[in-house]
A = this chain, B = another copy of it.
């Protein structure tokens, strides 16, 4: 069996796009992903659409998007693992190609969130937790992550200032990302002084809802070496879960699904955390990034906050993380996020990230979490 590569990536601008339909939104990412490739849409054997349901009225969007992109009669279907839906899509695309069923698969992630009020969106996100045991207790996304933050602070002495520093880095890199929602420098004081959402998390500790799409074109080795200038190989695809209910978790200071997914991805790639040149982690909240440092093995458990104190996750540091601004600056259009992370790493490994290039990056990692830590996906890419 040959290897499987990412040959094209695209992403819409992440923002509020009130006059744009879901299908139009997806076209923006698809068009960029196909640019410069020596294949046409007729060479795409299948599409996989990832998003979280119920943010817009259209049901079964895969058929709709596939038709709009003129991919009919090729097969299409929808995959979902909430915020990690497009990473799940990538893993499935890898399998479809590896199994010999297809040669080229498009993975499209999207979310159209601006049609809902913040309150409606929060309610739907709450229903992404267990609706019998958790969401009636108010465990929406910010509340769940606030519990992680409190637990991390209690166990390891992590401070609100350290959390704020994650956002300061995010803001710093977000400025250079033309597709990011927020592009404004922020200080530790700005973050600490922003409105409390769920203590200890404040407004600037939280990523924002956004409309957006992403697209990853994945291909078999024979196609990839022929049509892509620089194919980026999929070296590891790890995936794991933890309980839906927060009460079922063994630990609130790390995400076991991420630890397990990372273990699988490292094992499959024959690599370890020390081999990673650049990483994208799922910083839906500032605490998430600190937990990710530990869950991925970039720091020992309890030592994550030190990495940000020492600026080791800036370019030039030990392991540059989220140098595209991450979810905190880009915004988090749920289904589109994983694909956007993949796109950033692919651009880094190709040396095309002129706005914030990590020098000689050859191996990259994407950490994409679904829900309040229910779904962990880790993907390792290499040049």
Enumerate chain A interface residues (CB-CB to B < 8 A): 1, 21, 46, 52-54, 57-60, 62-64, 66-67, 71-82, 85, 88, 92, 94-96, 98-101, 124, 127-128, 130-132, 237, 239-245, 248, 256-257, 260-261, 370-371, 374-375
Contacts and interface: CB of A to CB of B under 8 A. Distances in A.
B88 A99 contact: no
Contacts of A77: 79-81, 85, 88, 92, 239, 375
25 contacts: A1-B1, A1-B99, A53-B59, A57-B127, A59-B82, A59-B128, A59-B131, A60-B82, A60-B371, A60-B374, A62-B81, A63-B81, A63-B371, A63-B374, A64-B244, A75-B239, A75-B240, A77-B79, A77-B375, A78-B79, A78-B81, A80-B80, A92-B95, A95-B101, A98-B101
Nearest to A99: B98
A76 B240 CA distance: 7
Tell me how many chains of this kind the complex includes: 2
Nearest to A81: B77
A101 B66 CA distance: 27
Contacts of A95: 92, 95-96, 98-99, 101
Contacts of A76: 81, 241, 375
Given A59-B124, A73-B260, A64 B130 contact: yes
What are the 5 closest A-B residue pairs judged by CB atoms, nearest first? A53-B53, A98-B99, A75-B239, A78-B80, A63-B374
Contacts of A82: 59-60
B241 A60 contact: no
B58 A127 contact: yes
B244 A67 contact: yes
A82 to B, nearest CB: 5
B256 A57 contact: no
A115 to B, nearest CB: 12
A237 B101 contact: yes
